[in-house]
Homo-oligomer: A and B are copies of this chain.
């Protein structure tokens, strides 16, 4: 088995959530989308080194989990916009404390890591649906 424990044998809410955000690019996508709706290409440019196939895959999974909304405008050239669903927004907010922790304990492992100021990943909330 790779990593996830999909079979529904979740021990607690956290590892259930981990299954949703476990992909390599998921949280970054979440973050980007948290700042507002994004087109496929824009998203790709924001993720350093992701390929189309993988980005598509991650987005499809997030969509299947009801985290992102995919709006397809059939025109030429084609245009597709991704945004967070209400559930995605909630997830993003639930991720904020973890982001603050990571910032304080991994990015800036300051000795007396106690206070965290700055923007700790509390997006502006966006996304229709």
Question: A interface vs B, CB < 8 Å?
Answer: 1, 3-5, 9-22, 24, 27-28, 30-31, 48, 66, 87, 90-91, 93-107, 113, 120-121
Do B16 and A102 have beta carbons less than 8 Å apart?
A: yes
- Counting every copy of the chain, the complex holds 2
In the complex, the answer to whether A27 meets B14 with C-beta atoms within 8 Å is: yes
A120-B28 contact in complex given A21-B18, A106-B19, C-beta closer than 8 Å: no
Contacts of A96 in B (CB 8 A): 97
Consensus secondary structure, chain A interface: helix
- Bound complex: CA of A98 vs CA of B92, how far in Å? 9
Find A16's partner among B5, B14, B90, B107 (CB 8 Å cutoff): B107
Q: Using Cβ atoms and an 8 Å threshold, which residues of chain B touch A98?
A: 13-14, 17, 94-95, 97-98
Which listed residue (B13, B19, B24) contacts A103, Cβ 8 A? B13
Q: A90-B101, A101-B91 are in contact. Are A106 and B27 (CB under 8 A)?
A: no
